[in-house]
Amino acid sequence: MQNVLTKISGEAKFELLIFLALASIPLVFSGYILFILPQYMLFGLLAVSLSILWGLTGIISFGQAGFFAIGAYAIGIVVKSTFLMNSAILGILLGIIVSAVIAGVVGYFLFSAKVKATYFVLATLALSIIIEQLAKSQKEITGGWNGLFVDRISISFGDLLEYSLFNDIPMYYFTLLLTTIAYALIKFLTTSNFGKILRGIRENEDRILALGYNTSIYKTLIFCVSGALAGFAGSIYGTHAGFVDPSLARVLFSTEVIVWVAIGGRNSIIGSFLGGILVASLANYLNSITPEYWQLIIGIVFIAVVILFKGGLAGGLEEIYHRLKSKNYVSARNP
């Protein structure tokens, strides 16, 4: 028990450290990093949206990019077409709600029909392709192949105060704030009874069913939360990047999310979050120094991490930590 307690608080301390570091970056650095890091934080959230499915519940989704694109298009379309005061907030909410509803409906039919994990993956893949095709074909709404320009939003509080996110530093802190809130909510969810039951589904679905839990409802709910989170990240991404196009919904992007999470550590929320940030930054950096080979290098890193640590970098670090602490440690967490 003592071990478990120190481990939990250790992880929480680490998470606090990461968010404090993110908060202090604008005090130290300036320039491009302040522009690009919010985007990577949103990628981190996107990675978390997969980690609560894959790591926590044991379901893989190839459709996370689809939800991300829905969020981005939602804010783009709303900001463009309405003259409401709070069109930005409306856009973000719409991104969350549409993603959640689509995930909920798809999840409900697939899970209550007891579809196997493999077929679920294929269904999410198809979902992603459908979203991409819709984005391409509905030219009047989405701009088709050309995409959609999205203005940086302003958040207004009544008539008096308007907070523009046009500059990088306000955008940075706005994104960081929302990211932190979303992260904390997800963290709370994973430690709640709901999260424990999801872990039970991952470990042994037959047993959790035989304990009287309706697993299809739990799986539908977590898919819904995951879709909502991806849509949320996407909506902020839309206004941050200023541009949305159909490539956001591509299967290739969904696959990238899987790579981030596998490298970061699917069983760890903070590991996945950092996986999203670090692997996306690494990919960007490598792309600038060696445009021909960057994908190859990321591929090698991916394979190396998967072979060396089954639980990704987070799982590997945890294992090393426990090895150092006690030589009798039995790897329990990361099967």
Partner 1 sequence: MSLLEIHNLSKSFKGLLANDKICMELKLGEARCIIGPNGAGKTTLISMISGHLFQSSGIITFDGKNISNHDLVKRVRLGIGRKFQTPTLFDNLTVYENVELSVIRNNYSNFEKNAKIDETLKLIRLFDEKDVPANTLSHGQRQWLEIGLLIGNNVKLLLLDEPTAGMTTEETIATTKLINNLSGEKNLSIIVIEHDINFVRELGAQITVLHLGKIFAEGNYSTIENNKFVREIYLGAPDVVS
Q: Which residues bind partner 1 (CB under 8 A)?
A: 1, 3-4, 193, 196-197, 199-200, 203-204, 206-214, 330, 332-333, 335
Query: If DSSP states are collapsed to H, E and C, what string results for 142-156?
Result: HCHHHCEECCCCEEE
Which residue, among 333, 150, 144, 135, has the nearest Cα to 236 in the 3D structure?
150
> In sequence order, what are the residues at sequence separation of 6 or more whose Cβ sits closer than 8 angstroms to the Cβ of residue 302?
259, 262, 263
**Smallest distance from partner 1 to CB 260, Å:** 24
Q: What are phi and psi for residue 149, nearest 5 degrees?
A: -85, 135
Q: How far is the CB of 215 from partner 1 (least distance, A)?
A: 8
Task: Kindly tell me the burial class for residue 311, based on how many C-beta atoms sit within 10 Å of its own C-beta (0-12, 13-18, 19 or more).
Answer: buried
163 SS3 class: strand
Min dist CB 188 to partner 1, Å, is 16
How remote is the C-alpha of 216 from its chain's centroid? Answer: 22
Q: Which is nearer to partner 1, 3 or 284 (CB)?
A: 3
- Tell the smallest beta-carbon distance from residue 209 to partner 1 (Å): 6
Taking the complex as a whole, how short is the minimal distance between the CB of residue 1 and partner 1, in angstroms?
6
| Closest to partner 1 by CB, 4 or 27 | 4
β-bridge mates for residue 156, sequence order: 162
Q: Which residue, 28 or 332, has its beta carbon nearer to partner 1?
A: 332
- Of 10 and 299, CB closest to partner 1: 10
Nearer to partner 1, 4 or 160 (CB): 4
User: Least distance to partner 1 from the beta carbon of 114, Å?
Assistant: 12
Complex with partner 1: residue 175 or 216, whichever CB lies closer: 216
- For residue 73, give the nearest of 230, 203, 305 by alpha carbon: 230
Query: What's the full length of the chain, in residues?
Result: 335
What is the number of other CB atoms lying within 10 angstroms of the CB of residue 187? 17
H-type alpha helices, the chain: 2-28, 32-54, 64-81, 87-112, 117-137, 139-142, 168-191, 193-203, 205-210, 215-241, 251-264, 269-289, 294-308, 312-325
CB of 156 to partner 1, least distance (A): 43
Residue 262 near residue 22 (C-beta atoms within 8 A): no
Closer Cβ to partner 1, 209 or 317, answer by number = 209
Nearer Cβ to partner 1, position 213 or 243?
A: 213
What angle (nearest 5°) sits at the alpha carbon of residue 26, between those of residues 24 and 47?
75
Q: Which is nearer to partner 1, 139 or 207 (CB)?
A: 207
Question: Is residue 204 a contact partner of residue 114, using CB atoms and an 8 Å limit?
Answer: no
Shortest separation between residue 330's beta carbon and partner 1, angstroms:
6
**In the complex, least distance from residue 272 CB atom to partner 1, rounded to whole angstroms:** 19
Beta bridge partners of 149: 243
Supply φ then ψ for residue 213, to 5 degrees: -100, 130
